[in-house]
Structure 1
Amino acid sequence: MIGGDCQSNLTIANSLPIAQLEEEQRQLKHYFGPKWYYCVETICYPCGTVKAWALFAKSESPTKILKFLHNVFPEPHSRPDFICIDKACPVSRTVTQNPDWKYWLDTSRFIVDTYHYNNHKASDELCQKFCNPAPYDGSQPNLVIVALDAQGQPYFKHAFNTQVCKQLNAWLIILSKQGNDVGNMEASRENEVDEAEESGTDDED
């Protein structure tokens, strides 16, 4: 079953900084180097293993995504069957319209994760036909499988988790907040020590 194979499918997601950082970046008059990165792009296998990550400076364009993927999977035999990303539609359009990227059509299909797919337009033919993460018409048995419920009745089920990167980002956000809290506590303790030392010096005088 390809859906359960960590070497056959992967998901990509980004972790965007807070709006305040983006506003500060837009206010820069020069761009000799990014003060803040636009996002951290991560690649994960369905089992949760992180394959690779990269920092995107000013945007998350389809071309940047494809260059990132090419660097991680330079050889055709190494490329996944399915690549799940919330921007699968514009990435697929870039692949089909740009001859430099058409080689991806020989090895991989770009699909949207289930969370974002619900917000995509039903009128978008390319999205509905090629980027659907769960076609129930039997056209993609590697994306949708038949399982049995507790009563032994068959039902359709996603073959693999398309939101593993989003779940990773949720954990990273929690950990980053905890790290900031620890840093603030350490800074507060250092200030308390400095104040105590200054107070002791004043007493001696």
Structure 2
Amino acid sequence: MSVTTEEVWDMFIILALLDDHQHQGTRLSVPHGNNQSDHFTAAMQAHNEKIITHGDEELPHACFGCTWLFTMPDGTTHYTEVVVTDGITVGHPSCAYLETVCAVDGCDKPVVYDKSTGKPHKACNDPLHLRMEDARSRSGKSKTQRMKSVKLNDALTASSVDDALPAAVTSSTRIVDPSLLEACPTKDEVPKLKAVFFRKWTNNEQLFICPCGVISGRGTMYHHEAISNVLILFEKMFSLPRARKPHHLIHDSNCNALREVESRQLKFFDGMGMCVDAFHHKTKHKASDRFCQERCDMKTYPELLDEHGKYYFNSSITEQTNVWFGGFHNMCHEMMPVKYDFFLDEVILRRNHATVINLHRQDKQPHHPRLST
């Protein structure tokens, strides 16, 4: 007797949902009239929303692997907590454009409808934008070509419209709007039009991990792992009711993050140390960057060093965890958002359970401290 992939997925989802409801003391209820593929969608969505509003189970985690009681040079005793963050390329399909708005970047005109079929185009009534869509639909068969922005050479190959194009358009450039040719004569390049007529994938997952290996949470970056997005996600996650703001945030681009925090005067990060992890600081950041060397070096913070002057915390934990997390890339590549979020939250939950068991064995006393009121 063989078990199908669909049956394995159903078993995983059912067991995970039953385990979650047993933990909450509630009863799992699913509809009976829908398609089999939709039976658990509402239950998974409810689980996902709970994670968004309350955070992962181990969000308030603390132990002697990520928290340290230390003595300052003046003899006073303090404690410090550290969280490390990094992105990993795991994503799910997402819409590249709004169905009712032109897919050309920078154009917000409504799409037009095909007179013969009545179906909507993906471009507005601008002839140049419609030609870009036509080039995309005819260019064929290569997935690599479809995954790129529409370029003029694709249009020339597919449509053979060399004579019909404006004189300003050449085979060495992308399709150019002639009305923009004289808009800025001092610039070297003429503004280029770009369009995405196909679906895209989210850019990456941003993990926030304690140095002991417990994953505090994750967030999906839809476009770029920009510093501003990382800061927003961090603030939202550690502003949840069960969260405690750590004393230090470690990230491989924290020198840029700290510059942004100070330039924008982000109050949430007041008093927080923002260092670059030891590996990237030594190998990827310039010694001539005084700001980075003076403000983002872990060695300049006594609370991050042990009594022998070595690093107390494992600042490379995200790189190590990414090896495990990246293994789900192919599994998640075609998942829809609800199942995608549910699946990743569940595998993180179960990894955290195993990590906490190991921390108990190592006598690091993992626990959830009571929040002060």
Does the alignment pair 1:111 with 2:111? no
- Normalized against structure 1, the TM-score is what? 0.67
User: What's the CA shift string for 1:53-104, capped at 9, x where partnerless?
Assistant: 01111111121011101111127x82111101011011000001113x1441
Q: Which amino acid aligns with 1:27?
A: S
- 1:123 deviation in Å? 1.5
**1:84 alignment partner in structure 2:** 250
**2:206 alignment partner in structure 1:** 41
- 1:2 deviation in Å? 8.1
Which of 7, 12, 15 matches 2:88? Answer: 15
**2:262 alignment partner in structure 1:** 96
- Normalized against structure 2, the TM-score is what? 0.38
Number of residues of Structure 1 aligned to a counterpart in Structure 2: 162
**1:142 alignment partner in structure 2:** 303
Taking the aligned partners of 1:2 and 1:130, their CA distance within structure 2 comes to 26
Secondary structure of the corresponding residue to residue 123 of structure 1: coil
In the TM superposition, 1:28-67 aligns within 5 A as 29-30=195-196, 35-67=200-232
Q: Which amino acid aligns with 1:146?
A: E
Alpha carbons of 1:24 and 1:120: their partners in 2 closer, same or farther (altered >3 Å)?
A: farther
Secondary structure of the corresponding residue to residue 233 of structure 2: helix
Secondary structure of the corresponding residue to residue 302 of structure 2: coil
User: What's the CA shift string for 1:19-40, capped at 9, x where partnerless?
Assistant: xx999765372489x6211111
- 1:178 deviation in Å? 8.8
**1:162 alignment partner in structure 2:** 315
Alpha carbons of 1:26 and 1:115: their partners in 2 closer, same or farther (altered >3 Å)?
A: farther
Q: Which amino acid aligns with 2:315?
A: T
**1:5 alignment partner in structure 2:** 67
* Mapped contact 2:149–2:196 kept (Cα < 8 A): no
Of 1-10 and 162-171, deviating more is 1-10
**1:188 alignment partner in structure 2:** none
Q: Structure 2: give runs of 5+ residues left out of the alignment.
A: 1-62, 69-79, 92-142, 151-194, 333-373
Q: Following TM superposition, where does structure 1 have runs of at least 4 consecutive aligned residues deviating by more than 2 angstroms?
A: 1-4, 21-32, 175-180
* Mapped contact 1:83–1:111 kept (Cα < 8 A): yes
Taking the aligned partners of 1:70 and 1:31, their CA distance within structure 2 comes to 34
* Mapped contact 2:90–2:328 kept (Cα < 8 A): no
Higher relative contact order (CA 8 A, sep 6+): 2
Which of 70, 74, 77 matches 2:239? Answer: 74
Q: Structure 1: give runs of 5+ residues left out of the alignment.
A: 148-155, 181-205
Q: Which amino acid aligns with 1:116?
A: H
* Mapped contact 1:22–1:38 kept (Cα < 8 A): no
- 1:105 deviation in Å? 2.2
Taking the aligned partners of 1:178 and 1:36, their CA distance within structure 2 comes to 12
Taking the aligned partners of 1:87 and 1:116, their CA distance within structure 2 comes to 9
Superposition RMSD in Å:
3.4
Q: Which amino acid aligns with 2:255?
A: C
Secondary structure of the corresponding residue to residue 310 of structure 2: strand
Taking the aligned partners of 1:23 and 1:158, their CA distance within structure 2 comes to 48
* Mapped contact 1:73–1:79 kept (Cα < 8 A): yes
